[in-house]
Amino acid sequence: MVLECKHVWDHISDYLDGALEPEVLALVQKHLEHCELCSAILDSTRNILVLTADDRVFELPVAFSKRLHARLDAEMGLASGRDG
């Protein structure tokens, strides 16, 4: 059985997660060996996932943590007052 490109695209996500069944994985790998197009799509997707997961993409606002813990402290003060 030979996979067409568009069928390979359906498996990209599971391929990247290492979640393909062995038989499907073998077919996809065979296709990738000779298909520049699908290889480039796979490489670019993998690359994009590495970039989007980087901590620099989204940053915590300055003093976020300080404000959060201050608010929790205020809440705890209330709670201990209430519960004795």
Partner 1 sequence: MTEVAAVRDETAMIAAILAGDQRQFHELIRPFERGVYLMALSMLRNEAEAEEVAQEAFLRAFRNLAKFRADSKFSTWLISITLNEARSRLRRRQIVKMESLDVPEEERRHITPALLRDWREIPSEALERNEVRLILRRAIEELPEIYREVFVLRDIEEMSVNEVAKAMEISVSAVKVRLHRARLMLQKRLAPELKSAGPAKRRWLSWS
Burial 23-59 (b: 16+ CB within 10 A, else e): ebeebbeebbeebeebeebbeeeeeeeeeeeeeeeee
Residue 22 CB, shortest distance to partner 1, in Å, is 18
Strand, coil or helix: 36: helix
- Could you give the CA distance from residue 58 to residue 61 in angstroms, rounded to a whole number? 9
72 lines the binding site for partner 1 (CB under 8 A): yes
Residue 48 CB, shortest distance to partner 1, in Å, is 5
Using CB under 8 A, which of 2, 17, 18, 81 touches partner 1? 17
Residues in touch with partner 1 (CB under 8 A): 6, 9-10, 12-14, 16-17, 19, 36-37, 40-41, 43-45, 47-58, 60-61, 64-65, 67-69, 71-72, 75-76, 79-80
